[in-house]
Structure 1
Amino acid sequence: MSHRADALSVRRYGASHGSHTHEHFQILLGLDGVLELEVNGRGRRISAGDGAVIAPGDRHDFVAASIARCLVLDSNDTRWQYALGHPEPRALAPLARYLATACDSALPRARLLGPDLLLEAWTPPLVPQRPRRAIDWSALTAWVQARGHEPLQVDDLAACAHLSAAQFTTRCREERGMSPMAWVRELRLAEARRLRGQGLPVAEVARRTGYRSPSALTAAQRRLAGR
């Protein structure tokens, strides 16, 4: 898989174009207006000075009642995983506005250094690592499968693994190769295939695996098959 260079841009958002995913990190910093953001079913608002880090594989959607303007960084730098779960420092707002001006004015040096400056300003200082608690993925898989109809969130998985949400997200990416909610989706779709193989109706399979309708389950299966 090829990796493109990190890219800074200023984007304007209005009506939603539907949910989607990326294979890279996407970092948003609000400049003007209010952007409604939904990531893996959880919503938040991005106003001027606010920010968000969207991890690879996280399904998300944007909408703004009127035009919202954001500084956007598309990045393949895996160090952004350390920003997940950490709120953006308020000192980022002036830097974001400067980099937005650099994008609008085509200032090459600012745009080149901007991604590293944003990462340095956002991520907390690294501290010596203590021995990490092992995650029993087999037990956690059984726990998720026993709650197939429940709307699980990252906090639920993290609590079961006795980790913080940020720690669990990092460990899931390192050890499973995907975000926590992507991992849950794959488990539930695998269970759906098993239940369909036993001859259960699609509606019953959807109910048991946490999908709101048979069509939602079918759409999820098609997305997985088309990856």
Structure 2
Amino acid sequence: MIKRISAQQAARIDKELMGTCGFSIDQLMELAGQAVAHALYRVHPPSKGSKVLVLVGPGNNGGDGLVASRHLSLMGYEPKVYCPKPTSGALFDGLRTQLEVFRVPYVDTKDLPSAFSTADIIVDALFGFSFKPPVRESFVPVMDLLSSTSKPTVAVDIPSSWDVDNGPGDSKFNPSVLVSLTAPKKCADSFKGRHFIGGRFITPAFAQKYDFDVPPYEGTQQVFEELN
């Protein structure tokens, strides 16, 4: 089993990646979003259904979802994006412009139930490792739909509404697939579906410094599946 890390460790790792390691936030989002798209393709290729609903939050996890949407559009999917609380700023403005260029549409709140019913698979990129329960009121409607859907769901790094260190608690959301980024968080111990690790940009020395594992990626693969 790949070692799990705490929310505190994850924050320190991100800080150093964007510090002495020289990565920018948009680089990390690009790598993360690409990994999510690759994992989704592994479990649900377009031949099984190409309609993907991507739920994006206001933070970096949401940015990962926007990048994943672009990659999915290039892989033969028909992604749609729902963002309950859009984020302003140059980085997110650029990601939204990219989706306009790739003709990836956004879903209005009034059309969200219909988008859930017509999607073949759903990507949860609402909350990242900085999330602390409970879910804010503006996100309750989308979380209710996410928790009750029978469609396959892919959670980005953390299943939304879960405590990063302690797992689901009272959450009713149980995704089908989890794509942990850089390293699995402690809540992954409570996850029962297919688990992938993505973020193939870490040196063994860096992983050793922060006491986590580099998965044994093969060939050109951008994700590693941890088998039960």
TM-score bracket, shorter-length normalisation: under 0.3
Q: Whose relative contact order is higher, 1 or 2, with alpha carbons under 8 Å and at least 6 apart?
A: 2
What TM-score comes out, normalization by structure 1 length? 0.24
Structure whose alpha-carbon radius of gyration is higher: 1
Given the two structures, how large is their TM-score scaled by the length of structure 2? 0.24
